[in-house]
Structures are given as structure tokens and as C-alpha cells.
């Protein structure tokens, strides 16, 4: 395993190259990127093959992201990277095995990295899929676009609102394609529900109810030796140093749900974990994708002790400038309910789940779409009405965007706004009072205490922005 000195040296080398302009991509006067992936216009142009590097190879990568990419003929996963050497090696075996079965030939074309900066220096890699813990999203995402790579980034976009703004700025500055992993946008029922609302099928929209799952508290966990296969310092990244215990990170012997999801140091809990999905789709229907609420208040229960410290039961209420109220709570059914002056529509995932260890189990017969009047669900969206961006495959949509250079269905600014909205809800929970938000300035109004929570102290050398 590479030590911290090696990691820092690679980072310095990367940054020197970035300053020199050898790994960054610029914008032409037209606003289109001046650097196009090699697999699109280079030596592989006849096949339009896009070479992919997978950064973070845990549960969501193995069950969702890599399979979602390798099934497409125009893509090839050629590299994997993880701070846990065991997981990186297992990811290499997984991808090689897939391509061996696909071609009926022995395949050994996947390269392993333990440092994402070294992977990004590989000029044969056109794009990366980032499936790391939340606190690494913006950090690695910024490095990736500055290295000229297109990016598929698991949601939520960032750990803090300030990091999300830095990431969005970097994507727009470099002209890269970045797709946020809000795959509900590529599910037909979520798009159709949003179209029905946008086209007035339930009258004037008044209230949006967002139901999320909850997370249990945990016991205190003892300090443990850091596994030799894990670069734990780099895994902690910009967050404060805390002692290693397995349940704080991820299981060493399987790919079940990792413990970091329930540690506030690395994420906000279900308010961003599932909230970024549902709030994103709600914004789609509300026509508020590029803004946010103007005020939020609410409460949450937090564990008094134990390793896992994200919120438990909670309820928040937000008001938007257009007068629509959004209520988010763990007591509501998982999904989104739109209530208007002439009826309501409820949309959820139904029988669909991303991984076997999703916190909300699939329920047989669960309806993905319901309405106050069943006739609403057979309503046709006319040719002159509002039609929203259509995608039936989230990873496939990203690959098509890489080739066309047209925006994907879940672009970074939209992802940043849904994530920042969830983080505003979390700040209101923590402060136990109402906060007033300026979506244009992206600051709280006359509230130094709340504004101090837009960012977090960062640990050198893992600085974001």
C-alpha cells in the first residue's frame, strides 16, 4: 500500500501539471470544450469506445455503477481505484471476469490504482465514475474535471454547500460532462409525475410531501488496528482524524451497507442519502431545479451516544418563493406526494432497488405511481405541453452525453441545488429553528451561525475548492 508521502508527492505532481496546463481542459470562445475524450475523436473513433476508470469500488460501485456502465458496448472499464487494496484487487477481478465471460476469452485488461490522482494522469482514460463515500465526492470530482475527464458522480454532490459550489464552478470552468447519480430521473414514473404536475393536471401545486427512510443509532465501537490494505489517512480525507474502527468505515469481509453512512463526519444521513433523490425529483416537478427554498424550519432526534450519530426521526418544512411548501419527514411514506388544488399524485420507486442492502426493502406489489383520480395516470402529455428530458438509462445517458457534448439529464448545477437544499434542511435540524435562505447569493440572511455551517474545517492536504 502506498504511504502518505507517496500520496502527497503524487498530488503535488498532479497540481504542478494542472498549473502548467497539461491536465486541465479549457473552454473555447464558443463555450465548447477544447479537449474531447480520445476515445471519441482519437485512435478509437471507429468504435466510439469510451475508456472508463472506476474510483471507489465498494457496494454501490459493484452492484450499480460498474454494471450500469459495462453493459454498454461504447464503454470499457479499463481501470479501478480504491484506497483499500483488497477492494481494488477484487474490483479488478470482477471486471476482468465480466469481460472474460462476455468475450469467451481470458481477459486481463484492467489496471489497478490505489491513488485517484495517479489514475487521472492516465491519458488513455476518458472518463471516471466516482462511487466513494460522500465526503470524497467534491474533492475527487474537482480533480477529475481539472484533469480533463468527464465524470459520473454518485449523489449527493458534496459534503457541504461550499464544496458543492466549488465543484459546480469547476465543471463549468472546464467544460466537462458531469452526471450526478440521481438515477430516479431516468425512471419513467418520476418523469411522468413531474410532467403531470408541470402541466397542471392537479391544478395549482400547493404542497410537496417527501418521505425518507430513517437510520438507527449504534453502540460505541472500540479502536482497532488499521488494516494494512487500507490507506486510512487518505480515506478520512479533509475530515478530522478519528481512530479507526471497522464500523466507521466499511466491512473488511463483505460488501454490506457501510457504517460511514451513519457518521455525520462523512455525510448528513438520510436527508442527503435519499433526500437528494427525492428532493431532486420534486424540484423537477416544481420547476425549481436551479434555485432552492427561501425558508426552512424543523427538528430532528440525534443519538445521545454511540458511533453512529446522523439524525434519526425528523420533520422539516420549507417554503419556496413560488409559495409551494415542502414537508420532509421519516414518518411519511417513502416517495413524493404532490398536492394541488385539484388532486394529488404519489410517486415512489415501487419494486426497484439499487443494492441488496438498500435501507428500504422491496415490497411485492408496491405501486410506483398513484393518484387521487386514477384517470390522471392515463393522461397524455400533448405535443404543445411541457415535455421533460427523457432518459431510460442513467449511465447510458451519461455515455451519450460524453459523445454528443450535450448536457446529461442530471447536470452538476441541478445536483448541487438538490444537495444544498437537503443540507439547508439539515442545518435547520441542527439549529432547531427556522433559517432564511437566499438562493441567489447562496447564503443565509442575517444569520452568522447558520452561515458558519456552509463549510467545514478541512484537513491538509485534502483540501476541496
For each of the domains in the chain, give its residue range(s) and CATH number, in order of start. Answer: 46-183 (3.40.50.720), 187-218+261-385+416-453 (3.30.360.10)
Encode burial over 434-462: b for 16+ CB neighbours within 10 A, e otherwise.
ebbbebeebebeebeebeebbbbebeeeb
pLDDT tens-digit profile of 222-250?
999 999 999 999 999 999 999 999 999 99
> Using an 8 Å Cβ cutoff, are 296 and 425 in contact?
yes
* Cα–Cα distance, 88 to 187 (Å, whole number): 31
What does the mean pLDDT of the chain come to? Answer: 90
Give the mean model confidence (pLDDT) for residues 341-356: 79
Q: Report strand pairing: 150-153 vs 295-300.
A: unpaired
- pLDDT tens for 168-220 read 999 999 999 999 999 999 999 999 999 999 999 999 999 999 999 888 889 99
Q: Residue 350: which pLDDT band, with cuts at 50, 70 and 90?
A: confident
- At residue 183's C-alpha, the angle toward residues 180 and 189, to 5°, is 140
Residues 370-384: what's their mean pLDDT? 96
25 or 383: which leads in pLDDT: 383
* Count helices and strands in the chain by DSSP H and E runs: 15, 15
pLDDT in tens, 58-78: 999 999 999 999 999 999 999
Give the angle 154-406-404 at the CA atoms, nearest 5°: 105
| Predicted TM-score of the model (pTM) | 0.89
CA distance linking residue 26 with residue 20, whole number of Å: 12
Maximum separation of any 2 CA atoms in the chain, in Å: 65
CB count within 10 Å of CB 106 equals 8
Count other Cβ atoms within 10 Å, centred on residue 312. 17
Q: 189-200 burial, b for 16+ CB within 10 Å, e for fewer?
A: bbbbbbbbbbee
User: Is pLDDT of 50 > 90?
Assistant: yes
pLDDT > 90? residue 16:
no
Percent of the chain exceeding pLDDT 70 equals: 87
Reduced to 3 states (helix: H, G, I; strand: E, B; else coil), residue 193 is helix
pLDDT of residue 46: 39
Pairing status of strand 178-180 against strand 205-211: unpaired
- Quickly state the pLDDT bin for 2 (edges 50, 70, 90): very low
> Which of 22-26, 150-154, 166-170, 321-325 is predicted with the least confidence, judged by mean pLDDT?
22-26
- Grid coordinates given for 82: 480504491
Lowest mean pLDDT segment, chosen from 16-20, 154-158, 202-206, 212-216: 16-20
Amino acid at each position: 500500500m502506498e504511504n502518505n508521502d507517496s500520496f502527497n508527492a503524487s498530488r503535488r505532481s498532479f497540481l504542478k501539471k494542472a498549473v502548467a496546463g497539461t491536465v486541465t481542459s479549457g473552454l473555447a470562445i464558443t463555450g465548447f470544450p477544447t479537449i474531447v475524450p480520445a476515445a471519441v475523436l482519437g485512435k478509437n473513433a471507429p468504435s466510439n469506445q469510451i475508456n472508463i476508470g472506476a474510483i471507489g469500488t465498494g457496494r454501490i460501485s459493484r452492484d450499480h455503477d460498474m454494471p450500469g456502465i459495462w453493459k454498454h458496448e461504447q464503454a470499457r472499464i479499463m481501470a479501478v481505484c480504491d484506497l483499500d487494496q483488497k477492494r481494488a484487487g477484487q474490483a479488478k477481478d470482477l471486471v476482468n471476469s465480466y469481460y472474460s465471460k462476455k468475450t469467451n476469452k481470458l481477459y486481463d485488461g484492467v489496471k489497478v490504482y490505489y491513488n485517484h490522482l495517479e489514475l487521472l494522469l492516465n491519458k488513455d482514460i476518458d472518463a471516471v465514475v466516482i462511487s466513494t463515500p460522500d465526503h470524497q465526492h467534491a474533492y475527487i470530482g474537482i480533480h477529475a474535471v481539472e484533469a480533463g475527464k468527464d465524470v459520473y458522480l454518485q449523489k449527493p454532490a458534496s459534503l457541504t454547500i461550499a464544496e458543492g459550489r466549488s465543484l459546480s464552478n469547476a465543471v463549468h470552468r472546464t467544460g466537462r460532462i458531469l452526471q450526478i447519480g440521481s438515477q430516479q430521473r431516468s425512471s419513467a414514473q418520476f418523469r411522468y409525475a413531474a410532467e403531470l404536475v408541470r402541466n397542471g393536471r392537479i391544478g395549482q401545486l400547493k404542497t410537496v410531501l417527501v418521505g425518507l427512510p430513517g437510520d438507527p443509532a449504534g453502540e460505541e465501537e472500540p479502536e482497532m488496528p488499521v488494516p494494512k490494505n487500507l490507506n486510512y489517512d487518505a480515506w478520512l480525507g479533509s475530515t478530522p482524524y478519528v481512530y479507526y474502527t471497522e464500523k466507521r468505515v466499511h466491512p473488511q469481509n463483505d460488501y454490506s451497507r457501510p457504517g460511514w453512512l451513519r457518521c455525520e463526519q462523512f455525510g448528513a444521513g438520510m436527508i442527503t442519502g435519499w433526500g437528494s433523490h427525492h428532493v431532486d425529483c420534486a424540484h423537477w416537478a416544481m420547476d425549481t431545479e436551479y434555485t432552492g427554498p427561501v425558508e426552512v424550519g424543523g427538528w430532528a432526534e440525534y443519538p445521545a451516544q454511540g458511533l453512529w450519530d446522523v439524525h434519526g426521526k425528523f420533520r422539516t418544512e420549507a417554503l419556496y418563493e413560488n409559495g409551494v411548501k415542502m414537508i420532509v419527514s421519516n414518518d411519511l411514506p417513502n416517495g413524493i406526494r404532490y398536492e394541488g388544488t385539484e388532486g394529488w399524485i404519489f410517486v415512489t420507486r415501487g419494486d426497484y432497488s439499487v443494492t441488496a442492502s438498500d435501507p428500504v426493502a422491496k415490497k411485492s406489489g408496491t405501486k410506483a405511481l398513484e393518484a387521487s383520480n386514477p384517470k390522471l395516470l392515463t393522461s397524455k402529455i400533448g405535443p404543445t405541453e411541457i415535455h421533460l428530458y427523457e432518459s431510460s438509462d442513467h449511465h447510458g445517458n451519461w455515455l451519450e452525453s460524453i459523445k454528443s457534448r450535450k448536457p446529461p439529464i442530471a447536470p452538476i448545477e441541478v445536483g448541487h441545488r438538490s444537495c444544498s437544499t437537503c443540507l439547508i434542511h439539515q442545518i435547520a435540524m441542527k439549529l432547531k429553528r427556522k433559517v432564511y435562505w437566499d438562493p441567489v447569493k447562496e447564503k443565509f440572511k442575517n444569520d452568522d451561525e447558520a452561515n458558519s455551517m456552509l463549510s467545514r474545517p478541512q484537513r491538509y492536504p485534502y483540501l476541496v475548492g
